[in-house]
């Protein structure tokens, strides 16, 4: 039986009225775009400045992890725009190194761009090395980067880019264990995390293989920077056992943060900066490097194919100004790789400058290790790691 409503044809007036509604919806994006937001497409070249300086684009497109940038006004991006006239379109669309790689490998493998001038990859994954070896990233223009000299010595020669031709550190962070004091006493070892019955069903670890297995390897007394099949398998077994017993209930990216603060998780593997931001909301949270040692990693800025090298290099140079880097480090509570940042940080916030999460002292640094690139690149390991996650 046909619905009697359908027998009424739309009168012209009704159709026009509804089209008008549709029309306003049609113009909504145009309205929004006009209201101050620029379009996301790469801009045209700005007029060349006098004195032979390179032409910079109007717009810099930058992909990064979430909550990895300062937000207090004037933001460093606003300051950059004032200095150079370049507007930064900042996309927080890096959730995991693997997923980002999967997103961009298509166009990059064909020599095409990805609509970005800078993106970021973590050194304790196989990806920075892969990007470089596949020649999917462009060389930095060091002539535009006098601040390159501000790079701390410890970061001057990473294995995937020994001459720092393609990458510059963005921020570094530490792997450790966080716990909620309302739900448990201090959790200081991986063993406790995986085996304490009080924590059953309230523990999470990362999806990132380097981070999670790195900590477990250390807890086993093995060296995360020189991994053998044996040490890998025994670390993997421990994780698998904890998952099967229901101790570990999730493999997370950054998404352990809210449930930990909320009390859904009692303790978990956590990144140093996240917890520092969490303490504002929940002072019951604590973070520490595990007794047997932690992992330190660095996110690196890279210029993909199709990105504008002068504009990107200019930005990187800007980010290596200690004042700028200090603001970013203080607000994100991660570790900067720029010399002289501590002095600048004190001027912004004396308390933050004393924060060991942002400025770890030598004691802490001695406990931190880096991952073995060979382990990260081993396909077999990667498959086994996915299986433990139920995938």
Look-up of token digits 């994100």: 332
CA distance 377 to 353: 36
Pairing of strands 294-302, 167-180: antiparallel
99 binds other proteins per the rule CB under 8 A? yes
> Mind giving me the DSSP string for 76-121?
HHHHHHHHH-PEEEEE---S-HHHHHHHHHHHHHTT---S-SBEEE
Residue of 16, 40, 365, 366 interacting with other proteins (CB under 8 A): 40
* b/e sequence 59-87, b meaning 16+ C-beta within 10 Å: bbbbbbbebbbbeeeebbbebbbeebebb
263 binds other proteins per the rule CB under 8 A? yes
- How far does Cα 176 stand from its chain's mean position? 16
Residue of 5, 153, 362, 363 interacting with other proteins (CB under 8 A): 5
Residue of 46, 54, 66, 184 interacting with other proteins (CB under 8 A): 66
139 binds other proteins per the rule CB under 8 A? no
Q: Residue 20: CB partners within 8 Å, gap ≥ 6?
A: none
90 binds other proteins per the rule CB under 8 A? yes
| Contacts (CB under 8 A) with other proteins, residues 193-252 | 200-202, 207, 243, 246, 248-251
132 binds other proteins per the rule CB under 8 A? no
Residue of 51, 52, 110, 350 interacting with other proteins (CB under 8 A): 110
102 binds other proteins per the rule CB under 8 A? yes
Query: Are 231 and 222 a contacting pair, CB within 8 Å?
Result: yes
Residue of 76, 89, 314, 336 interacting with other proteins (CB under 8 A): 89
Mark residues 270-309: x for contact with other proteins by CB under 8 A, - for none. Answer: ----x--xx-xxx---------------------------
96 binds other proteins per the rule CB under 8 A? yes
6 binds other proteins per the rule CB under 8 A? yes
CA distance 128 to 91: 19
16 binds other proteins per the rule CB under 8 A? no
379 binds other proteins per the rule CB under 8 A? yes
15 binds other proteins per the rule CB under 8 A? yes
Task: Count residues binding other proteins (CB under 8 A).
Answer: 83
Which secondary-structure segment (H or E) carries 171?
A: strand 167-180
374 binds other proteins per the rule CB under 8 A? no
Residue of 74, 85, 106, 356 interacting with other proteins (CB under 8 A): 106
CA-based nearest residue to 122, from 263, 284, 296: 296
325 CB burial (10 A radius; 0-12, 13-18, 19+) = buried
Query: Are 62 and 117 a contacting pair, CB within 8 Å?
Result: yes
Stretch that binds other proteins, among 31-39, 143-151, 288-296, 318-326 (CB under 8 A): 31-39
Closest separation between CB of residue 106 and other proteins, Å?
5
CA distance 376 to 99: 15
**Phi, psi of 234, rounded to the nearest 5 degrees:** -70, -35
355 binds other proteins per the rule CB under 8 A? no
Shorter beta-carbon distance to other proteins: residue 32 or 374? 32
What count of Cα atoms within 13 Å lies in the side-chain half-sphere of residue 337?
A: 27
Residue of 56, 59, 60, 104 interacting with other proteins (CB under 8 A): 104
112 binds other proteins per the rule CB under 8 A? yes
Closest separation between CB of residue 299 and other proteins, Å?
15
CA distance 376 to 295: 14
Closest separation between CB of residue 370 and other proteins, Å?
22
Closest separation between CB of residue 163 and other proteins, Å?
25
Query: Are 57 and 86 a contacting pair, CB within 8 Å?
Result: yes
Closest separation between CB of residue 43 and other proteins, Å?
14
β-strand partners of 301: 120, 168
Closest separation between CB of residue 277 and other proteins, Å?
6
Closest separation between CB of residue 154 and other proteins, Å?
27
């Amino acid at each position: 039986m046909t619905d009697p409503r359908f027998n009424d044809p739309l009168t012209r007036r009704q159709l026009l009225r509804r089209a008008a509604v549709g029309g306003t919806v049609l113009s909504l994006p145009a309205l929004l775009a006009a209201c101050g937001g620029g379009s996301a497409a790469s801009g045209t070249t700005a007029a060349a400045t006098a004195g032979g300086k390179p032409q910079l684009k109007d717009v810099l497109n930058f992909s990064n992890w979430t909550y990895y940038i300062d937000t207090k006004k004037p933001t460093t991006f606003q300051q950059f725009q004032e200095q150079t006239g370049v507007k930064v379109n900042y996309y927080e669309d890096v959730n995991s190194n693997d997923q980002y790689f999967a997103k961009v490998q298509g166009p990059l493998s064909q020599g095409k761009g990805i609509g970005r001038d800078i993106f970021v990859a973590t050194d304790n994954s196989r990806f920075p090395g892969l990007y470089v070896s596949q020649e999917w990233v462009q060389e930095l223009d060091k002539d535009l980067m006098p601040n390159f000299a501000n790079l701390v010595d410890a970061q001057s020669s990473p294995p995937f880019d020994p001459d720092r031709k393609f990458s510059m550190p963005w921020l570094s962070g530490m792997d450790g264990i966080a716990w909620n004091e309302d739900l448990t006493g201090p959790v200081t070892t991986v063993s406790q995390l995986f085996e304490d019955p009080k924590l059953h069903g309230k523990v999470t670890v990362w999806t990132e293989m380097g981070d999670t297995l790195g900590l477990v390897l250390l807890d086993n007394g093995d060296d995360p920077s020189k991994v053998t099949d044996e040490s890998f398998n025994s670390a993997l077994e421990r994780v698998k056992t904890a998952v099967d017993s229901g101790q570990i209930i999730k493999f997370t990216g950054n998404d352990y943060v809210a449930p930990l603060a909320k009390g859904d998780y009692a303790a978990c593997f956590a990144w140093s900066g996240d917890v520092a931001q969490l303490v504002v909301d929940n002072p019951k949270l604590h973070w520490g490097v595990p007794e047997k040692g932690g992992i330190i990693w660095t996110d690196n800025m890279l210029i993909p194919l199709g990105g504008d090298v002068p504009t990107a290099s200019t930005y990187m140079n800007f980010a290596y100004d200690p004042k700028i880097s200090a603001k970013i480090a203080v607000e994100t509570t991660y570790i900067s790789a720029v010399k002289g940042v501590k002095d600048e940080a004190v001027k912004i916030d004396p308390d933050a400058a004393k924060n060991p999460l942002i400025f770890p002292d030598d004691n802490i640094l001695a406990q931190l290790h880096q991952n073995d690139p060979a382990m990260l690149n081993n396909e077999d390991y990667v498959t086994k790691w996915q299986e433990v996650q139920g995938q």
